[in-house]
Amino acid sequence: MPLAFKLTVDSKSIDLALRELADEAKVAPGVVFKNEAKQFAKALIKLTPPMTSAQGRAAVAEDIGRVFTSIPRLIKYAEEKGRISDIAGFNTALNKAYRKGDDAEVERLLTGPIGVHTSSVNSYMRKGVQVSGYTARRNGRPMFPMVAGGSTRMGGNLDPKLHIDRRNKRGRVRGNIASQLVKNSELNRYVKKVQQSVGWHAGGWVALARVSGYQPPKWVTKHGIPAASGRAILRTGKNPFFKATNYRTSIPGYQRTVDTVVATRARIIQKNIRKVMKGKAVNLGFKRVG
């Protein structure tokens, strides 16, 4: 799991504005405070990366794919790029070496340069003759640029630490050289396991969502563990207020996101107050006016 730092939001900075809105809308202040707590929870969860479950799962798969690779994935790459003339033969040789634990042979097969690289070209004139179709050239590029001899561990059990070590301060992985060649089934299991953590950061605001009546997506709520992910207090009686703490805010620059939510909500409240005072139609969330 990512490192966890806490961040707190409350209604102090908008207390007077919420009371004024309640007065103008002719409702109990507690009604307004509860609705605002709901709007805070909704905005905070929505703006906490990733924006969607699909986006988060795709990012996880992409990052892990930068750290680990497997024979099926390499073969698929070779087929798409047209880099091997005898895919079946190469696949057989590679799998045989891998099963035998012959790391040297696996490395030789994966890091050897392409002998002749064939690519399609646009038609052009050469010595008065139109040439089209394909061109071939020799080069020393590696057959699989995501595998580097000496840098990529050939075989062995998937080592999660390699993934952790490759993550930057934003939790993402950069660089395209795989750290380890592993079994495809093991790689797929690891991807699915890590994808289960998508929504972990946003889960810290679930406590606020629950007390205010907002229902977040299931991929977020499953991480809302009481007292562990975050806490929230909402009082709607005398001297209403709300306060929430997210214990999972280890995202660089996340304080700016929270500050933006607070500032945006403050502007919306003032805008609604002006509309109510002028008798304009407005849906306040807890009441339709005008």
Segment 173-204, tens digit of pLDDT: 999 999 999 999 999 999 999 999 999 999 99
Average pLDDT, the chain: 89
Question: What's the pLDDT score for residue 289?
Answer: 79
Strand partners, 243: 10, 233
| Region of residue 244 (phi > 0: left; psi between -120 and 50: alpha; otherwise: beta) | beta
Question: What's the pLDDT score for residue 120?
Answer: 58
Contacts of 50 (CB under 8 A, 6+ apart): 56, 59, 198, 199
Average pLDDT over residues 254-268: 94
What is the percentage of the chain residues whose pLDDT exceeds 70? Answer: 88
Longest dimension (CA), the chain: 92
Contact 221, 206 (CB under 8 A): yes
Segment 197-244, tens digit of pLDDT: 999 999 999 999 999 999 999 999 999 988 889 999 999 999 999 999
d(C-alpha 90, C-alpha 105), whole Å: 12
Segment 68-119, tens digit of pLDDT: 999 999 999 988 888 787 889 999 999 999 999 999 999 988 987 765 445 5
d(C-alpha 50, C-alpha 66), whole Å: 19
d(C-alpha 176, C-alpha 59), whole Å: 14
The first and second tokens of residue 173, run together, are 């992985």
Per-residue pLDDT at 160 exceeds 80: yes
d(C-alpha 48, C-alpha 45), whole Å: 5
Contact 284, 272 (CB under 8 A): yes
Q: Report residue 138's pLDDT band, with 50, 70 and 90 as the boundaries.
A: very low
CA triple 23-26-27, angle to 5 deg: 95
Segment 144-156, tens digit of pLDDT: 889 988 899 999 9
The total of other beta-carbon atoms located within 10 Å of residue 25's CB is 19
d(C-alpha 88, C-alpha 250), whole Å: 47
d(C-alpha 170, C-alpha 231), whole Å: 24
Strand partners, 188: none
Question: What's the pLDDT score for residue 143?
Answer: 81
Segment 107-130, tens digit of pLDDT: 988 987 765 445 555 666 666 666
| SS3 of residue 38 by DSSP | helix
H/E element holding 237?
none
Tracing tokens 């099963």 back to the chain, one arrives at 99
Segment 31-62, tens digit of pLDDT: 999 999 999 999 999 999 999 999 999 999 99
